[in-house]
């Protein structure tokens, strides 16, 4: 049979470099393809000729083949096909390693095959180049990738290889080669996403010299329904972050072995990953019934309590987990979060601090949350420092920059606060007007009006037709006693919007301070037209007419002010003064009666003026 060679290469990306595909050298694929006669395929059937196993095997001798045990665990008949197309029946099941899902089978006749060269796994580390040589549908397929990690399935007994290779079920049982073109493992594809490698050392421990059992007479079982098979599949799936598969296999296992804590811990973790918090809680709780002080069980229970918003109990459980030696850095973060939800910000800060000190892989969130906890606890300087640490890790984070600016302003570090706001403008120019307004408000509250001018002018540059921005500039000039500039700017504002009530009111104040009382009176009069229910406009316009000694024109304005706010002693007093100047002492005395109830000092002053 003529074979076609297809080479499937897996590209693995890293942040610093890309590992070349031909990590074994330019001739690697060509070299590996020469070992094709060391790879076979297997089909296995049960007593009813139902197919129960299919995949690859690797040659140990011309009549001895290594395969995954689950291929033949139910089989009464199996057939091996070599890469040249020759076939042979499986005669005997020679040896089985149920923990590793491995088996040796002996053939009835010899095939045109050649044993593969075996190596070892001691030299394999993360990033070590690997390749799988498989036969699928009559084609030799080479899949390249890398070693990712070791998966500890059973402590001191079994570990499997996690790789970057994308393997399909038909490649299960195929040899895994290292960059020396030596077999270092056997591919095992248990389920979609549950793919690994069994190290060659597990295979080499099998006894090749046993006569074995006739395949038909060997006991039959569904391997992945057994304790060994369901544990292997469940633990592998759990470690590979395939929670649905892990749950499916471990639920089988705990029915067979209900008194072991570890499977319940894995179930708790996997249910949690799938947001099934009820089953996760129950699984962790069951693990703790078996092993009450287990730190991982306590941690998992605490996480579920947090998701149930039972923060008080969660803090108690997580504290206990840490006291029992829990090493999970994230537990410190979760405990801090629970205290934060309880508004116990000092304790939240303690654990966020421990979290960042533990040197987590991604520390930014820890510094950010630590800063927030200090901020909520009114520890301003500590919050400022924590935000600065967060910004070292993520300089462009808007929230950190904004909160830092607020805290710097609150602690009167105005120059640094302004720099922080300006950085925000660079990072987020769309909201620049908002940040310039923050600068204005900061300096306005501090009484540093000169410092606010630049920000006000920047807003006007961005939006020259904004009456609000022009108005704010006028107010800043007014507060700086730059009255001519204030009057001009407020008039500019009114040119943009002649019905801007606040501009008319403040223009009146500016003109009054400039002793331009006629213009002030006109400005206040315009204000009263726009805001007729505000007594302050009527009072101020009345006062300006009084300063102009136009008491007849002042009178209706002051009467209106008193009508709108009869409990204003200043309005009552000035109304009485106007009556006196209009020779209406009777009305002045009536006002005096009211003023005596509102302000005795003003009433006494008024009584001395009434003839």
The predicted structure's pLDDT at residue 27: 38
The predicted structure's pLDDT at residue 8: 36
What pLDDT digit, counting tens, does each position of 287-304 carry? 999 999 999 999 999 999
The predicted structure's pLDDT at residue 33: 83
Q: Confidence band (pLDDT; 50, 70, 90) for 62?
A: confident
**Least confident stretch, 25-34, 97-106, 331-340, 439-448:** 25-34
What pLDDT digit, counting tens, does each position of 193-227 carry? 899 999 999 999 999 888 889 999 999 999 999 99
Report the percentage of the chain scoring pLDDT > 70: 95
State yes or no: pLDDT of 382 exceeds 50. Answer: yes
Q: Confidence band (pLDDT; 50, 70, 90) for 7?
A: very low
User: Rounded to an integer, what distance in angstroms lies between the CA atom of residue 451 and that of residue 367?
Assistant: 32
The predicted structure's pLDDT at residue 11: 31
- Which position has the token pair 């060269």? 117
Section 495-503 average pLDDT: 96
H helices of 16-117, where?
28-33
User: Rounded to an integer, what distance in angstroms lies between the CA atom of residue 199 and that of residue 152?
Assistant: 12
Which domains, and CATH codes, for the chain?
4-208 (2.40.10.120), 222-327 (1.25.40.10)
User: Rounded to an integer, what distance in angstroms lies between the CA atom of residue 299 and that of residue 325?
Assistant: 11
What pLDDT digit, counting tens, does each position of 309-330 carry? 999 999 999 999 999 999 889 9
The predicted structure's pLDDT at residue 6: 38
State yes or no: pLDDT of 351 exceeds 80. Answer: yes
H helices of 274-431, where?
277-290, 295-307, 311-323, 329-341, 345-357, 364-376, 380-393, 398-410, 414-427
In angstroms, what CA-CA distances link 415 with 27, 412, 427? 65, 9, 19
The predicted structure's pLDDT at residue 31: 77
What pLDDT digit, counting tens, does each position of 432-491 carry? 999 999 999 999 999 999 999 999 999 999 999 999 999 999 999 999 999 999 999 999
What pLDDT digit, counting tens, does each position of 546-586 carry? 999 999 999 999 999 999 999 999 999 999 999 999 999 99
Tell me the sheet residues that pair with 568. Answer: none
Average pLDDT, the chain: 92
The predicted structure's pLDDT at residue 428: 94
User: Rounded to an integer, what distance in angstroms lies between the CA atom of residue 168 and that of residue 176?
Assistant: 14
Q: Confidence band (pLDDT; 50, 70, 90) for 28?
A: low
CB-CB contact of 83 with 36 (8 Å) = yes
- Sequence-ordered list of residues with C-beta below 8 angstroms from that of 208, at least 6 positions apart, any chain: 60, 61, 64, 94, 95, 104
The predicted structure's pLDDT at residue 279: 97
State yes or no: pLDDT of 66 exceeds 90. Answer: yes
User: Rounded to an integer, what distance in angstroms lies between the CA atom of residue 37 and that of residue 115?
Assistant: 8
The predicted structure's pLDDT at residue 344: 97
What is the bridge-based pairing of β-strands 175-177 and 158-163? unpaired
Alpha carbon 573 to chain centroid distance?
64
Report the percentage of the chain scoring pLDDT > 90: 89
State yes or no: pLDDT of 9 exceeds 80. Answer: no
Q: Confidence band (pLDDT; 50, 70, 90) for 75?
A: very high
């Amino acid at each position: 049979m003529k074979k076609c060679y297809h080479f499937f290469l897996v590209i693995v990306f890293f942040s610093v470099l890309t590992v070349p595909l031909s990590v074994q050298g330019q001739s690697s694929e060509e070299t590996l393809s020469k070992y094709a006669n060391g790879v076979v395929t297997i089909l296995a059937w049960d007593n009813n000729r139902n197919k129960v196993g299919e995949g690859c095997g690797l040659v140990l001798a011309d009549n001895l083949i290594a395969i995954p045990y689950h291929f033949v665990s139910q089989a009464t008949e199996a057939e091996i096909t070599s890469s040249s197309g020759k076939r042979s029946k499986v005669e005997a099941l020679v040896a089985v390693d149920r923990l590793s899902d491995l088996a040796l089978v002996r053939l009835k006749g010899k095939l045109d095959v050649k044993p593969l060269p075996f190596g070892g796994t001691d030299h394999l580390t993360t990033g070590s180049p690997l390749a799988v040589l498989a036969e699928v549908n009559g084609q030799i397929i080479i899949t390249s990738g890398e070693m990712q990690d070791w998966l500890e399935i059973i402590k001191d007994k079994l570990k499997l290889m996690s790789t970057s290779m994308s393997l399909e079920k038909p490649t299960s049982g195929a040899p895994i080669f290292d960059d020396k073109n030596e077999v270092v493992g056997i591919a095992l594809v248990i389920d979609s996403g549950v793919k690994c490698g069994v190290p060659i050392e597990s295979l080499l421990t099998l006894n090749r010299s046993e006569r074995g059992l006739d395949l038909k007479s060997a006991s039959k079982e569904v391997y992945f329904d057994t304790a060994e098979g369901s544990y292997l599949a469940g633990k592998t799936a759990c470690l590979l972050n395939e929670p649905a598969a892990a749950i499916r296999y471990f639920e089988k296992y705990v029915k067979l072995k209900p008194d072991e804590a570890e499977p319940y811990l894995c179930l708790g973790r996997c249910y949690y990953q799938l947001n099934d918090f009820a089953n996760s809680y129950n699984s962790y709780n069951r693990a703790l019934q078996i092993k009450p002080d287990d730190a991982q069980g306590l941690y998992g229970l605490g996480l579920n309590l947090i998701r149930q918003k039972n923060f008080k109990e969660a803090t108690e459980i997580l504290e206990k987990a840490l006291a029992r030696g829990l090493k999970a850095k994230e537990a410190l973060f979760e405990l801090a979060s629970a205290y934060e939800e309880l508004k116990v910000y000092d304790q939240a800060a303690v654990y966020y601090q421990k979290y960042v000190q533990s040197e987590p892989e991604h520390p930014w969130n820890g510094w950010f949350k630590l800063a927030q906890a200090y901020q909520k606890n009114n520890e301003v300087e500590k919050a400022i420092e924590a935000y600065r640490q967060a910004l070292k890790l993520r300089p462009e984070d808007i929230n950190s920059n904004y909160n830092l600016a607020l805290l710097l302003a609150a602690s009167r570090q105005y120059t640094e606060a302004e720099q922080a706001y300006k950085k925000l403008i660079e990072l987020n120019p769309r909201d620049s007007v908002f940040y310039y307004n923050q600068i204005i408000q900061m300096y306005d509250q501090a009484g540093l009006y000169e410092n606010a001018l630049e920000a006000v002018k920047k807003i006007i540059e961005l939006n020259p037709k904004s009456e609000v921005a022009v108005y704010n500039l006028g107010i800043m000039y007014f507060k700086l006693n730059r009255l001519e500039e204030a009057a001009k700017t407020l008039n500019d504002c009114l040119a943009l919007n002649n019905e801007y009530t606040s501009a008319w009111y403040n223009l009146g104040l500016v003109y009054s301070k400039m002793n331009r009382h006629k213009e002030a009176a006109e400005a206040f009069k315009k204000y009263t037209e726009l805001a007729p229910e505000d007594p302050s406009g009527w009072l101020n316009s009345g006062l300006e007419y009084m300063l102009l000694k136009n008491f007849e024109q002042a009178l209706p304005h002051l009467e209106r002010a008193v009508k709108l706010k009869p409990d204003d002693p200043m309005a009552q007093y000035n109304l009485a003064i106007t009556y006196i100047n209009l020779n209406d002492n009777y009305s002045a005395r009536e006002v005096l009666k009211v003023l005596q109830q509102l302000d005795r000092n003003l009433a006494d002053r008024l009584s001395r003026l009434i003839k």
